[in-house]
Amino acid sequence: MLKGISPLISPELLKIIAEMGHGDELVFGDGNFPAVTCAQRLVRADGHTIPALLDAILPLFPLDYAVDYSAVLMAYNTGEEPKVWSKYREKLKAYPEGNKQLLAIERFTFYERAKSAYCVVTTAEAEKFANLIIRKGIISLN
């Protein structure tokens, strides 16, 4: 156990986010996401929701300044925007580069993008169309 690191972040997930470089993407899949099919690297976060994992990871994870969006979402095909999206906006805007638009892309395009992501984190998120991708930025050392 480490000080200042949320217990929601497993040792495996901590290693993954530490080794990621600028531009690498991290996918959070909801409970219905085909994580095993899409993942180059897979981390299980059983029992955890995506908003809870964002709370744990975002203090450690710089978001990419070089893109026009804070995160990528799987576009929904229902009448209403998924409620969890407003939670994502709230959590992301608290961090540098997190107050940009959210980019929604078509489901199969999202799957293809997830296949090239650095890692997929599978979660217990129950809301439909809750899948999310964040892109790692840089940490300035000066």
Enzyme catalytic residues: 22
Contacts of 89 by beta carbon, 8 Å cutoff, 6+ apart: 70, 102
Give Cα separations from 81 to 13, 15, 21, 33, 87 (angstroms). 29, 33, 31, 18, 12
Burial of 122 (0-12, 13-18, 19+ CB in 10 A): buried
SS3 79: coil
C-alpha 90, offset from chain centre: 14
Please tell me what DSSP assigns to residue 33. S
Burial of 60 (0-12, 13-18, 19+ CB in 10 A): middle
